[in-house]
Amino acid sequence: MNITNKIESNSIYFLTMTVVDWVDIFTREDYRHIIVDSLKYCQKEKGLEIYCWCLMTNHLHMIAAGKENGQFTLSDILRDFKKYTSKAIIEKIKEIPESRRRWLLDRFEFAGRYNKKIEFYKFWQDGNEPKEVYSAEFLQQKIAYIHDNPVRAGWVNEPQHYKYSSAIDYAGEKGLIDVIFAY
């Protein structure tokens, strides 16, 4: 990660975590729930503060921070989240009836083959594309961008109709993950 994308403590960030080669893995509910459950765990046990989120088929957008004066930094939380979800999703691929099993495992094995830090499979691309939230206008722009992802993909007509997003919360209903309202 270069210096322009360094995550500093006590700041809020727009983040994008992408599956290697943009593989559409989150088309199955089993894999989506690993992400949701892990985000909830990180909130409860590690101090992850989520202001906005949306899980698409091959990436996760969030506006998030690490709890101020918390035990874990946002970088620590994201590292642990990616490490855990990588392993859990690979195990789920092996466990459930998955028509793409061989292809998925081959793809993730190939992605990590020449990386000395990877033991078997590489699931997430390196980095989180962190962009520090520097103004209220930037924050509102990124929340709209995140919530409009499923609309732009043609899956729903209104952002709040997509289950795997905080747009539900911003529309006054209760979503899957607790969020801190930005406005």
- Whether pLDDT at 116 is above 80: no
Q: Closest Cα to residue 55, out of 160, 143, 163?
A: 163
Considering only residues 180 and 10, tell me which one the structure prediction assigns the higher pLDDT. Answer: 180
What's the mean pLDDT when you consider all of the chain? 93
For residue 175, pLDDT beyond 80: yes
What does the pLDDT read at residue 38?
A: 98
pLDDT above 50: residue 2: no
φ/ψ bin of 69: left (φ > 0), alpha (ψ from -120 to 50), beta (otherwise): left
What was the pLDDT predicted at 117? Answer: 74
| Domains of the chain, each with CATH number or no CATH | 3-170 (3.30.70.1290)
Q: Report the Cα 7 to chain-centroid distance in Å.
A: 16
CA-to-CA dists, residue 132 to 51, 84, 111, angstroms: 13, 25, 28
pLDDT of residue 163: 97
Q: How far apart are CA 74 and CA 68, in angstroms?
A: 10
Measured CA to CA, the distance from residue 150 to residue 156 in angstroms comes to 6
More confident residue, 10 or 161: 161
pLDDT in tens, 53-91: 999 999 999 999 998 777 889 999 999 999 999 999 999
Mean pLDDT to the nearest integer, 37-63 = 97
Share of the chain above pLDDT 70, in %: 96
The whole-number average pLDDT for the span 41-61 is 97
**Which are the contacts of 16, defined by CB distance < 8 A and separation ≥ 6?**
59, 60, 61, 128, 129
